[in-house]
Amino acid sequence: MLLNWIRAWGLLALVLFSTPVFAAPANILLTFDDGPNPVTSAIVLDELEMRGARAVFFVLTSPETLFRNMPWRMVFTKGETEAGLQTMVQEVRQGHLLACHWGGTYIAQSRYHPKRMSKPAYDATGDGVIDRVSLPGNALESDLIQCQQRLNQAITIAQADPVDGPLQHPDELEYIRPPIWKYKTRKFDARPVYESLGMKMILTDYKLGDGGQSLQGIPMSKRMARRTATAIMNGQSEVVLTLHDSNARTARNLAKTLDALELALKKKGLVQGVDWQYTRDINAITQALEGFLQRKGQGEADE
């Protein structure tokens, strides 16, 4: 009787306190917003290469202006410059995936995608033709057509000098992330525009808490790490994380951020390559994104 009681409690302890066994490693997908920045994005690329991680870069393909009506107006160049284009080419060549954040004449992310739907369509690509996919169209359609065109240009250049491993192909622009997570207002919903351009909206599981510039946001790498570890312990097969490669502070501290992530996973008994892994190629990225969409849909982002 006593022996049976001991065995029963032993089995219960094994179930309660052992590390779960997963059929396949969970994928951790790092995503970066608001680039490209030739300096800070290069730092991020080097760190990702060292860890064998492949990420998604949600890029801006037109300059962003902050404080545009103030004497201290600031303009940040993005993917419209030659340096920005070459940064995107390098991202593709290293096996990462490019996706749209915004483009065209958006000026500032605070304007939001839905607000652009109230503005008329225009020639965003400079070919003398109004860019739109519906009639009469709207400015958001034009903005995103310009973004897709610039990304396709970068992908085509990268494909002209192929490297080992799968690379993104032209016209494989299936995903988009709305700036500041704002995809709808009471009057407008940008998701039908995304769909008309063949793109699915990707939000996130957890955010670092940084912003597009060094003084924006309050990075909380340990919180993001703990939440990621808990999600994998609970059986989640993919975790989408959001950071900003345009943020110099984020770029400089990326090694520490990823070290904190890996330590949190280790403390939970999760082994890299067995229980979890960074997405390693385009195919793994796509699998993680599609898994995220099946699990979360195209709705609210987690904090």
Looking up residue 117, the CATH number of its domain turns out to be: 3.20.20.370
Going by C-beta distance under 8 Å and a sequence separation of 6 or more, which residues neighbour residue 184? 114, 190, 191
157-182 tens-digit pLDDT: 999 987 888 999 998 999 999 999 99
**Number of domains, the chain:** 1
Cα–Cα dist 81/102, whole Å: 15
- In this prediction, residue 16 carries a pLDDT of 43
- In this prediction, residue 215 carries a pLDDT of 73
- In this prediction, residue 18 carries a pLDDT of 47
Cα–Cα dist 281/53, whole Å: 8
**Residue 101 belongs to some domain of the structure:** yes
**Residue 49 belongs to some domain of the structure:** yes
CA-closest candidate to residue 171, choices 191, 156, 192: 156
In percent, how much of the chain has pLDDT > 90? 78
Q: Is 61 exposed, middle or buried (0-12, 13-18, 19+ CB in 10 A)?
A: buried
**Residue 198 belongs to some domain of the structure:** yes
Q: In which domain, by residue range, is 96 found?
A: 27-296
CA-closest candidate to residue 264, choices 300, 290, 239, 291: 239
- In this prediction, residue 203 carries a pLDDT of 97
133: amino acid identity, one letter: V
SS3 53: coil
**Residue 38 belongs to some domain of the structure:** yes
Cα–Cα dist 101/82, whole Å: 18
- In this prediction, residue 111 carries a pLDDT of 87
- In this prediction, residue 1 carries a pLDDT of 53
**Residue 1 belongs to some domain of the structure:** no
- Cβ–Cβ contacts within 10 Å for residue 245, how many? 31
Q: Give the residue ranges of the chain where pLDDT is below 70.
A: 1-22, 66-73, 299-303
Asked if 130 contacts 142 with a C-beta cutoff of 8 angstroms, the reply is yes
CA-closest candidate to residue 155, choices 106, 82, 103, 99: 99
234-263 tens-digit pLDDT: 999 999 999 999 999 999 999 999 999 999
- Secondary-structure breakdown of the chain: helix, strand, coil percentages, each rounded to the nearest 5: 40, 15, 45
- In this prediction, residue 21 carries a pLDDT of 55
Going by C-beta distance under 8 Å and a sequence separation of 6 or more, which residues neighbour residue 192? none
**Residue 301 belongs to some domain of the structure:** no
- In this prediction, residue 6 carries a pLDDT of 44
- In this prediction, residue 165 carries a pLDDT of 85
Whether cis (ω within 30° of 0) applies to the bond prior to 136 is: yes
**Residue 18 belongs to some domain of the structure:** no
- In this prediction, residue 4 carries a pLDDT of 52
**Residue 256 belongs to some domain of the structure:** yes
> What phi and psi, each to the nearest 5 degrees, are found at residue 301?
-85, 145
